[in-house]
Amino acid sequence: APANNVSVVDGKQIVEVSVKGGYRPQKSVAKAGVPTILRFATNSTYDCSGAVRIPSMGYSAFLPATGKTDVELGVQQVGILRGMCAMGMYIFEVDFKN
C-alpha cells in the first residue's frame, strides 16, 4: 500500500518526507500533472541526510536540524523523481503516476 504521506491542500499536492538517518518513506507515490510541494521534515537531524540533493532539478540544500522545508516541484510528468543525501548513502524517490 502506498504511504499516506501525500495530501492535497489548496489545490497543491504535498509530499512529506521525514529526514533523520535517511528518508522515510523511501518511496512515495504522487499524482502527476498536479502542482506539487516536497516537504522535508527534520527533527534533531544532524546526519548526512540533512544535506539533500535532487540532481534532476539542480536542487541541493542543508536542511535545518529541526523544522519543515518546502521545495516547489511544480507540475511533474509521469516518472520517478530521485533524491539523495550529499554522500549518496541515503536515497528517496517520488513516483509520479497518472
Residue 91: closest CA among 31, 24, 32, 43: 24
pLDDT one-digit tens code per residue, 15-44: 999 999 999 999 999 999 999 999 999 999
Q: Grid coordinates standing for 39?
A: 516537504
Residue 4's pLDDT is 85
Domain that holds residue 58: 6-97
Q: How many domains does the chain have?
A: 1
Residue 1's pLDDT is 46
Residue 3's pLDDT is 60
Task: Give how far the C-alpha of residue 94 lies from the chain's centroid of Cα atoms, to the nearest Å.
Answer: 7
Rounded CA separation 81/9 (Å): 21
Predicted TM-score (pTM) of this structure:
0.94
Domain containing 48 — which CATH number?
2.60.40.420
